[in-house]
Amino acid sequence: AQSVTQPDIHITVSEGASLELRCNYSYGATPYLFWYVQSPGQGLQLLLKYFSGDTLVQGIKGFEAEFKRSQSSFNLRKPSVHWSDAAEYFCAVESSGAGSYQLTFGKGTKLSVIP
Amino acid sequence: ETGVTQTPRHLVMGMTNKKSLKCEQHLGHNAMYWYKQSAKKPLELMFVYSLEERVENNSVPSRFSPECPNSSHLFLHLHTLQPEDSALYLCASSRRGQNTGELFFGEGSRLTVL
């Protein structure tokens, strides 16, 4: 069965600093990978996704993620964090192939930003 | 106006009550989902409806009963719940058949069972 591990429960960074959130997955086939963000009191919003091709994918709000098959990782990065990025971030893998959209989520990483 | 609207946003109910959560999507999608979000646990997929037919039921207790009367509306009927059912219930929609993998979520209904 597929699984997603986000090893960091809570990360605190200063505004303007760089950010990397870690995600490791376990999945037998070529994974479809996603990062979602959840602001307080809100639902989840898709930041970016990887299906195939270029392993470095760009998303909204200045985020990017890199797929590394050898490490089974899909880490999320941002070069300069803004206070509005404070939220919870979820990595997800699609469970059973294209079109099913049955996502397995990690437990999330809560990001706090210090002014 | 958000694409996926959930009501009520907050609900407190006793274990003997019957209540319903409502979800409406204005995106023209043809698949709708219920997820459960509990503290310190990953999001759990509960039900999936595609073209108004239930295509997934992830071993959810029968005290949760979904209903999808049309492609724009999804309900979750609740009865004789337990305190451990207290959680944030998220509705989502998507366009099945297109290889986007993107779910559009509502803001959730925060349920507290006393």
How confident is chain A (115 residues) per 10-residue block, as mean pLDDT? Answer: 90 97 86 92 92 91 95 96 97 68 87 96
In angstroms, the separation between the Cα of residue B82 and the nearest Cα of chain A is 23
Over range B8-25, report the average pLDDT: 94
pLDDT for B15:
87
Q: How many residues belong to chain A?
A: 115
Q: Which residues of chain A have a CB within 8 Å of the CB of B4?
A: 43
At B37-83, the pLDDT tens digits run 998 788 998 998 887 777 777 789 999 999 999 989 999 999 999 99
**If you measure CA to CA, which chain B residue comes closest to A41?**
B107
- For residue B67, what are the β-bridge partners? B75
Give residue B42's pLDDT.
84
Is the pLDDT confidence value at B113 over 90?
A: yes
Q: DSSP assignment of chain A, as one string?
A: --EEE---SEEEEETTS-EEE--EEE-SSPPPEEEEEE-TTS-EEEEEEE-SS-SEEE-GGG-EEEEEGGGTEEEEEESS--GGG-EEEEEEEESSSTTT--EEE---EEEEEE-
Query: Which residue type does A9 have?
Result: I
Given a cut of 70, is residue B5 above it in pLDDT?
A: yes
pLDDT for res A98: 46
User: What pLDDT, on the 0 to 100 scale, is given for residue B17?
Assistant: 87
Is residue B99 within 8 angstroms of chain A, CB to CB? yes
Cα–Cα distance, A52 to A10 (Å, whole number): 30
Q: Is B8 helix (H, G, I), strand (E, B) or coil?
A: coil
